[in-house]
Structure 1
Amino acid sequence: MNWQEVKKAAKEKLKPYCRVCPVCNGIVCAGEVPGMGGVGTGSSFKANIEALNKIKLNLSTIHDVKEPNTSVEIFGQMLSLPVMAAPITGTTYNMGGAVTEDVYTQEVIAGSLMAGTLGWIGDGADPLMYGSGINAIKQNNGKGIPIIKPRTQDEIIKRIRIAEEAGAIAVGVDIDGAGLITMALKGQPVSPKSPKEIEELVKATKLPFILKGIMTLREAEIAYNMGVAAIVVSNHGGRILDHTPGVAEVLPEITEKLKGKITIIADGGVRSGVDVLKLLALGADAVLIGRPVVVAVFGGGKEGLKLYFENIKNELKQAMLLTGVASVKNVPQNILRV
């Protein structure tokens, strides 16, 4: 099995929901929500790609780096690379249903572990979505991270308890899911959270609490002040609000103030190991990858995902070698051409 074979198989299973384009950049699928595209004009999805593409690296080959180290510790877990699978649900209405929610989450968690990293699972209007992910985490000794929609406080805490019982490594809320109309239509309202509500959720568990969907320094500082363990700088893959900036545009403002104080994870438009290195140079501690993980799992199951992560790791190592970076734990900003 090679990556081209995985993509070919995925293209058949995902049509017409995803074309598995040569470059996954949100242009062809703009406005296709449900589906794999970005909301409205698709501007926010495309902004993630464009923001990363604007960043250039300084080629450097006169240095002492021979064997770059890609391993990193996140939430007490040693990972072979600073990349994890983003929480994605809706295999039926977003991806056509050729792979069920149960199978998808099982393959994401297992494939991530096979590659030496972690899979995150999501939540949705259908209770099977969160339940499938929790079952996958249980079956893999708790090695996964569940992310819950911004439901009412009681409903979130109920799901936090389920995550704790499953032995999950951490738990969180994708607060940018506050605008999901499908949740409200199915009698499961979601909404923004006040700082006090965030603090209540943090105090409701001993697990590291993650807030996913932060796109401004102001809200990153609120999360930090409320005791959040980690934030994910993310615009929800461009699927929530049209015309937001790309993640790589806002990330430096956040890391400049909060690097080292709170774990900062970036999620938006990562398509290569070079992209990973760019976000680490901008101050991220790790990154999430979404849509390509779907392609990997639909096209090759857990083995396809393992292959994909191995490709990303190899690209990352090569980029580190050619920019003089010894470890992903310390990526200097001066490798970027500004």
Structure 2
Amino acid sequence: MIPADIVALTDYEPQARRRMGENAWAYIAGGAADELTLRWNTEAYARLRLNGQALPDVRDVDTRVTLFGQDFEHPILLAPVAYQTLVHPEGEKATALGAAAMGAGMVVSTQAGVALEEVAAQLGARLWFQLYVNPDRGYTGDLVRRAEAAGYRALVITVDAPVSLRNREQRAGFRLPPGVEAVNLRGQPAPPPPPTTGDERDALRALLAGAAGWADIDWLRSVTSLPILLKGIMTAGDAERAIAHGADGIVVSNHGGRVLDTLPATIEALPVIAGRVGGRVPLLVDGGIRRGTDVVKALALGASAVLIGRPYVYALAVGGAVGVAHALKILRTELEVAMVLTGCASLAAIDRRVLWAG
């Protein structure tokens, strides 16, 4: 049962915190360093203003979108979030069930707390698989083949997180509790031991030695026929390189402010990247989306669709699959209302004219 006073995505947050406990909260809610980018992601949407239209000639709205040959009821997808069993015993299975109920796409994390095959078994789930390139490329290829065999329809390669440092987790002493693990990575080859030179940066060098590069995108393009999206693109130059290396789509993302602090908000980076890409591949954007009006703003600035992360995890913590479906319903309803009031009967009608120019 969803509490009656939850009527917006942000209403889930305080209730989720009480249920999750400080350990899980530090992991899910935290960002890198001083968490400036984490905050800027939402603040940048608040600074954008919309143009309302008087007496809009809109009798219905169509939120459907097609991405890589797949039809979705609306342009709101669920971003990959690791270890969802931290906040709900059914984890990603419950999330997939809630997404399916609302016709939403879901990107399942490599570090999911539930096996990718179990998530795919949820009836009606529209799934893409998020991939971290493992230092053992043979193991990475096995993961890709598992995703293909389970029916995932696209690969979303995270390209912005070879290392990270999150102070909130450090202060909380975050540890995965018993029973929570990245089950898709069971049996992965152990990384080579770090060099023992005595230098305090040995561990960092060991991590970077296995980090992915652009050549790995070429390799992935050669071993799968699935659409490949690169997630973590924040500059026009990297967007150009992504297309040159065979990317079928781009996710403008700063990893929810979890990797490099003081990166700009994603909605600030989006129009620059959209201008360079020029419609050659679909652009998606995540980070900071809390309202249907935010979805309109993202589409107006060049996105084909958006992804949400923390808000649906908070809903999962409070209400399981029903909470996820409810959160998506809230956001879709707000999107529809915003479309009516800006005079847009379809997603294709949303462009920069809906943004206030002063």
The question of a shared fold, defined as TM-score above 0.5 by the shorter chain, is answered with yes
Q: 1:295 to 1:271 in 2, by over 3 A?
A: same
- 2:76 is aligned, of 78, 83, 102, to 83
Task: Give the greater-gyration-radius structure (CA).
Answer: 2
Contact 1:285 1:329 in 2 (8 A): no
Quick one: distance in 1 between partners of 2:307 and 2:299? 12
**Would you say 1:200 and 2:193 are equivalent positions?**
no
Quick one: distance in 2 between partners of 1:303 and 1:187? 39
Quick one: distance in 1 between partners of 2:4 and 2:314? 10
Contact 2:83 2:113 in 1 (8 A): no
Quick one: distance in 2 between partners of 1:231 and 1:110? 26
Contact 1:123 1:130 in 2 (8 A): no
- 2:152 is aligned, of 168, 174, 199, to 168
Q: Structure 1 unaligned segments of length 5 or more: list them.
A: 20-31
Return the TM-score normalized by structure 2.
0.81
Matched ranges for 1:97-176 at <5 A: 97-100=86-89, 103-124=90-111, 129=112, 132-140=115-123, 143-152=126-135, 153-176=137-160
Equivalent AA in structure 1 for residue 35 of structure 2: G
Q: 1:299 to 1:166 in 2, by over 3 A?
A: same
Give the deviation of 1:90 after TM superposition.
2.6
Deviations 1:4-23 (A, max 9, x none): 3583653432132577xxxx
Q: 1:178 to 1:210 in 2, by over 3 A?
A: same
Contact 1:252 1:283 in 2 (8 A): yes
Quick one: distance in 2 between partners of 1:187 and 1:198? 21
Give the deviation of 1:49 after TM superposition.
1.0
Deviations 1:165-224 (A, max 9, x none): 1111111211112214799xx849576543332121122101111111111111111111
**Secondary structure at 2:331's aligned position in 1?**
helix
Root mean square deviation, CA, Å: 2.4
Quick one: distance in 1 between partners of 2:267 and 2:260? 17
Q: 1:253 to 1:3 in 2, by over 3 A?
A: farther
- 1:232 is aligned, of 251, 267, 278, to 251
Shifted more, 67-76 versus 131-140: the winner is 131-140
Deviations 1:219-272 (A, max 9, x none): 111111111111110000000111100001110011112142111100010001
**Would you say 1:266 and 2:253 are equivalent positions?**
no
Look up the match of 1:14: 20
Higher relative contact order (CA 8 A, sep 6+): 2
Quick one: distance in 1 between partners of 2:114 and 2:17? 27
Quick one: distance in 1 between partners of 2:346 and 2:23? 38
**Secondary structure at 1:146's aligned position in 2?**
strand
Q: 1:3 to 1:236 in 2, by over 3 A?
A: farther
Return the TM-score normalized by structure 1.
0.85
Give the deviation of 1:151 after TM superposition.
2.2
Shifted more, 142-151 versus 239-248: the winner is 142-151
Shifted more, 325-334 versus 82-91: the winner is 325-334
Q: 1:88 to 1:98 in 2, by over 3 A?
A: closer
Give the deviation of 1:98 after TM superposition.
4.5
Equivalent AA in structure 1 for residue 153 of structure 2: I
Contact 1:273 1:313 in 2 (8 A): yes
Deviations 1:82-124 (A, max 9, x none): 00111001346xxxx3524xx1100111111100111111123
Quick one: distance in 2 between partners of 1:72 and 1:306? 19
